[in-house]
Amino acid sequence: MNSTRKANFNAGPAALPLPVLERAQAEMLDYDGKGMSIMEMSHRDKAYMAIVDAAEANIRQLMGISDDYAVLFLQGGASLQFAMFPLNLRLPGQVADYVHTGSWASKAIKEAKITGEANVIWDNKAENFTRAPRPEELTFTPGAAYVHICSNETIGGIRYPVFPKTEAPLIADMSSEIMSRVVDMNQFGMIYAGAQKNIGPAGLTIVIVRDDLIGQASPITPSVLDYRVQADNGWMPNTPATYAVYIAGLVFQWLKQQGGLKKIEEINRAKAALLYDFLDETEFYYSPVEKSDRSLMNVPFRLRNEELNDEFLKLAKQNKLLELKGHRSVGGMRASIYNAMPVEGVKALVAFMREFQTKHG
């Protein structure tokens, strides 16, 4: 790690790759000799359109997205998508299936019920959202418009080791794990993700949706929320989040330089193993998530003696280990180790946790 920077374990907005920040810094005042910043440039400028074209080409290459999917760089976060995709993908009177694995799945269900029927086909609340469903536990509704999952719950730290096979289009909120592992895009009707964890700054949302699913929006859908309108206008019927798209494009370039998603997944698995292996060998800390379903991106953990929580966080900050407090809804600790977190940061965290255990165990 760069000696002047601290290890940022924030769940989002999250750390960005240092080379991306340095490139953005160098181009902040004058992009490509234009005498202005990207933030000041028209989104119709040829130079900016070149950035857009490169960003789309690179995300398609990295994720293996074929031409029969639209790639939309939208705004409003994943939370807007909770309401937006039901308007686009569910016909009036049609039911949609939802899998309830935690906080973000819950929010999606709540929004879907405003405009139609959302059938919760599996709910892990009784087990405190500590695992993903097994394939045999899912019974889908015949004729459902789609099946929705949150592929990685940022707060609970669970993920799907294997995605469910469905007849209806599978829709996934991948906000906290997009581009962290290889997925078969063809298994999904749509993937969406807020950018502020693995892709770029807050304000940008990536939507990847199969072409045959768009163009039949509910009559009450505002035009700016219609995927067909967005796709037909190059996702620019209004001014997009120009600077966020620019940063995302730099992140895509960085990912290619790392060796693509296959290589980044190997790195992420190794980082997660460092932390989980330590948690499994100690009685001082523990992980609340079933081993088979543990997230590679968000690692919640707890101290057996929670009276030590404040001391742990205070000393962690003194050791340049930031944002380890768990979400307010569940407490405990959480280390988010997205793509941009170097392995040295995880090693430093484990070393600190060992030292803290020795002192207080």
- Per-residue confidence (pLDDT) for residue 333, from 0 to 100: 98
pLDDT tens for each residue of 28-64: 999 999 999 999 999 999 999 999 999 999 999 999 9
Read off the tokens for 5: 């920077």
CATH number of the domain at 305, please: 3.90.1150.10
Per the listing, tokens 């005042």 go with 29
Distance CA 180, CA 298 (A): 12
Q: Are 96 and 116 in contact (CB under 8 A)?
A: yes
What are the catalytic residues?
104, 173, 197
Q: Do both 37 and 183 map to the same domain? A: yes
Structural domain for 65, as ranges: 27-257
pLDDT tens for each residue of 187-246: 999 999 999 999 999 999 999 999 999 999 999 999 999 999 999 999 998 999 999 999
Q: Do both 141 and 207 map to the same domain? A: yes
Distance CA 306, CA 253 (A): 42
Per the listing, tokens 């205070």 go with 314
- Per-residue confidence (pLDDT) for residue 62, from 0 to 100: 98
User: Where among 241, 257, 273 does a domain terminate?
Assistant: 257
Distance CA 231, CA 85 (A): 14
User: Where among 205, 236, 257 does a domain terminate?
Assistant: 257
Q: Do both 173 and 143 map to the same domain? A: yes
Peptide bond into 164 cis (omega under 30): no
Per the listing, tokens 């028209």 go with 42
Is residue 3 over pLDDT 90? Answer: no
Residue 259 CB neighbour total at 10 angstroms: 12
User: Where among 231, 257, 283 does a domain terminate?
Assistant: 257
Q: Are 69 and 185 in contact (CB under 8 A)?
A: yes
Q: Do both 51 and 171 map to the same domain? A: yes
Angstrom CA distances, 48 to 33, 224, 263, 291, stand at 13, 22, 29, 45
Q: Is residue 13 part of a domain?
A: no
How many structural domains are present in the chain? Answer: 2
Instruction: Give the SS3 label for residue 180.
Output: coil
Beta strands in the chain (DSSP E): 7-8, 69-74, 95-100, 117-123, 147-150, 152-153, 158-159, 170-173, 190-194, 205-210, 285-286, 298-303, 321-322, 333-336
Q: Do both 207 and 271 map to the same domain? A: no
Q: Do both 107 and 251 map to the same domain? A: yes
Is residue 4 over pLDDT 80? Answer: no
pLDDT tens for each residue of 252-302: 999 999 999 999 999 999 999 999 999 999 999 999 999 999 999 999 999
